[in-house]
Amino acid sequence: MLKFKITLLLLCLFWKVSAQETAPPWMPMQNCIGLAIGLGTVSWLDKNSSPIDYTSKPKHVRLFYNLEVKSMLFTVDFDIKLGGMRAKHLAQRMVYFQEENYKGKKEDKKFPVGASFLAGKLSFGAYYKMKQSASAEFRVAPGIKLSNEMFYPQGWVSSGLFNAISFSPAANVQHRIDAEHDVTATVSLPVATYLARLAYHNTVSAPNKSLIEGFIRNSAWAGLGRFFSPAAELQYHYQFHNHIGTSLTYGFNYYLIEQSQPMRATSHTFLAGIHNQF
Amino acid sequence: MNAIKIYFKRTTIILICCTVLMAAHPPKPTPTENFEYFWKTFDTHYGLFGVKHVNWVDVYNQFKPRVHDSMTDEALYALLSEMITLLNDNHLNLYPTNGDLPAFPGGILRYVNGKLTILKAQEDYDLDVVKKYLTNYHEATGSVRYGILPDNIGYITITSHGDSRKDIQQSMTTILGALKDTRGMIIDVRGDYGGHDAIAQLIAGYFTAEEKLYMITKKKNGPAHDDFTRPEHWTIAPKTKTPYLKPTIVLTSRFTQSAGETFTLALRELSHVKIMGDTTAGSFSDNPTTEMPNGWMFTVSIGDYRDARGKSFEGIGIAPDEFIRTTKEDLLQGKDVALEAALKKFQ
């Protein structure tokens, strides 16, 4: 029995030594698929439809997929933000209707000025991993991002509504702290955007068109001067298992839109995620 | 030197505090600011000054002297309501948001005892009364219902145009299938409060065998009173191989408004269609909602909508080929006089 235990111990030691010898090379491929959830805040002022600042604290869900090959990193992210929205500096607003029918029945109805906020983004990224030495602690990968982002606040006013299909130069920088911990920063700036906004008159009706078609037809190409939207993201990643890792992400996005009348917005997001690495 | 440093430090701290406080709680907008914003929004976005022959600067000069920063919400509400009433536009609504003042409904106007009055309640149509005349009553969608009237006359009533195109296509196929053997049709839009013009256009397409122009629209695209988009031409075109082409009567009322009126504009271009009832509300243009700095909301008519010959009915309404109106007393007795008069036309 003792021999068996010693053999087992030696085997274990040998396995550990082997594992150390075959530890993933720096930088290991990070192919993964995952889910992140979190909260955010979005604030905006859309002068095309209102002089009032709006704010939303949406819940945020992200599905992501990263594929890393020898010299390239490909990413797919699908983000959904969903929540209520309200005027930032105004107390709870109520509208009051006095209704009456021909039978003389009168009814007073009061409703809060409620609204919902929906935003979505689908983005594809392709990054070229710049060559580094085997001992490098940083991986720098410039690239491009193709995104379709939608802001869809639904309320009494259409403040903030837009859809942007954009092409952005981007960069991804990863700092490896140790075998289990790393921090990644990603930045992007759209330089060419196919932007749909409400027109000056703020309506979408058009002959033989659905409302969505009526909205989309008011699309035009916009450069940095009309759609300025830098985005930055900082992610801490902890790989606690060979195949499973977690992450904490902070994201910031600024928007300045000069189509129709100006709109500006800022967005902050905090996400906690889990992913399966393969 | 130290004193300068301290002074500089304190000033910086005060400035930062002021900035933070102002960002957190911007000063409450004054009635004057709200009035100016309201007036200016109409000045830059209202599409019907030319049609209504209203000099908006004169309106400003008339009302501005009554505005002061100590006026109450009630006084501001009364003043703004009075100001937009001058535009005689049912599509102009004002929604105070303090919870105490009621929404100002723009107004559907009618002469009552010789006095032009804003109607608060519809008194000439009640679907529950109509149902007593119907057999095979069905709800195709939440806003489109149909059935069969005595003497095998089909009946469709539309109360809004908010359904999806797909729902309308499916519903109209079902409805025309069910009513294809009727002798004629009554399309009742007396309770049609509007919706999407393109949905009204789609429904109208089930009643024509040929394409016809029925409406030309343009919308504001800049701040000057004559800054408009290029005109758009709305045609009524066949949406089915078997459109309903038998004699058809459209029943209208003062409460037929917005897309209900553009729907009426489309059908009145067809030779087998007659309009009966009361003159429509006279509010055609889209009217998006916007806001004032104090959070109140209001709507603005941003378009200039005209019929195929370039005539505007804004503030006037579409007059019927034959006037007939059900009264409140009729409805209380369970009678729909206008519907009965329309039925007689098929005898």
Do A74 and A126 touch, CB atoms closer than 8 A?
Answer: yes
State the Cα–Cα distance between residues A210 and A204, nearest whole angstrom: 9
Burial (0-12, 13-18, 19+ Cβ within 10 Å), A211: middle
**Per-residue confidence (pLDDT) for residue A30, from 0 to 100:** 76
pLDDT at A28: 65
pLDDT value at residue A10 = 47
* Percent above pLDDT 70 for chain A: 89
B99 in A contact zone (CB under 8 Å): yes
Residue B159 backbone class (left: φ over 0; alpha: ψ -120 to 50; beta: rest) = alpha
The reply to whether A153 falls in a domain is yes
Among B2-6, B121-125, B302-306, the range scoring the smallest mean pLDDT is B2-6
All structural domains of chain B with their residue ranges: 31-119, 127-282+317-344
Q: pTM of the entire structure?
A: 0.87
Q: Mind listing the pLDDT tens digit for each residue in A77-118?
A: 999 999 999 999 997 899 998 888 888 888 888 989 989 999
> Which of the residues A47, A100, A154, A201 would you substitute to probe the B interface, choosing the one with the greatest number of B C-beta atoms within 10 Å?
A201
Find the range with the poorest average confidence among A130-144, B21-35, B148-162: B21-35
CA distance A158 to chain B (A): 8
What pairs with residue A239 in β-bridges? A245
As a whole number, mean pLDDT of residues B192-201 equals 96
B282-293 tens-digit pLDDT: 999 999 999 999
Asked if A161 and B179 count as a contact pair (C-beta separation under 8 A), the reply is: no
Instruction: Check which CATH number belongs to the domain holding A144 and give it.
Output: 2.40.128.100
Task: Check pLDDT > 60 for residue B143.
Answer: yes
Confirm whether A97 is domain-assigned: no
**Total number of domains in chain A:** 1
Residue B149 has pLDDT above 60, yes or no: yes
Tokens of B28: 């409450």
pLDDT over threshold 90, residue B4: no
Domain membership flag for residue A250: yes
The pLDDT of residue A242 is 83
Instruction: Tell me whether residues A52 and B126 touch, CB distance under 8 A.
Output: no
* A17 within some domain: no
B109 contacts B315 by C-beta, under 8 angstroms: no
Q: Under an 8 A CB cutoff, do B295 and A90 touch? A: yes
In this prediction the ipTM stands at 0.87
Tokens of B305: 């909508």
Asked if A52's CB is within 8 angstroms of B297's CB, the reply is: no
Chain A positions in Cβ-Cβ contact with residue B97 (cut-off 8 Å)? 90, 93-95, 113
Which range has the worst mean pLDDT, A119-133, B4-18, B35-49?
A: B4-18
- pLDDT above 50 for A11: no
Among candidates B267, B262, B273, which has minimal Cα distance to B317?
Answer: B262
What values do phi and psi take at B34, rounded to 5? Answer: -65, -40
Q: How far apart are CA A42 and CA A229, in angstroms?
A: 14
SS3 B166: helix
Residue B24 has pLDDT above 90, yes or no: no
Chain A: give the shortest CA distance to residue B2, in Å.
40
Please tell me which residue of chain B has the smallest CA distance to A114. B97
A196, A197, A201, A204: CA torsion to nearest 10? 50
For chain A, how many residues are written?
A: 278
Residue A7 within a domain: no
The per-residue pLDDT for B39 is 98
Lowest-confidence region among B41-45, B58-62, B106-110, B159-163? B106-110
Domain assignment present for A21? no
Contact at 8 Å (CB) between A86 and A115?
Answer: yes
pLDDT at A186 over 50: yes
Question: What is the torsional sign of CA B164, B168, B171, B173?
Answer: negative
**How far is A182 from chain B, CA to nearest CA, in Å?**
35
pLDDT (0 to 100) of residue A12: 45
Spatial distance between the Cα atoms of A248 and A255, rounded to a whole number of angstroms: 23
Contact criterion met (CB below 8 Å) for B34 and B292: yes
pLDDT (tens digit, 9 = 90+) per residue, A202-226?
Answer: 999 999 999 999 999 999 999 999 9
Q: Domain range spanning residue A76?
A: 31-89+107-277
Residue range B127-282+317-344, CATH number:
3.90.226.10
Mind listing the pLDDT tens digit for each residue in B249-269?
A: 999 999 999 999 999 999 999
Residue A188 lies in a domain: yes
For residue A20, what pLDDT band results from cuts at 50, 70 and 90? very low
C-alpha B76 chain-centroid distance: 24
Mean pLDDT of B230-234: 97
Residue A66 lies in a domain: yes
Q: Cβ contact (<8 Å) for A51 and B293?
A: yes
Are the CB atoms for B203 and B175 separated by under 8 Å? Answer: no
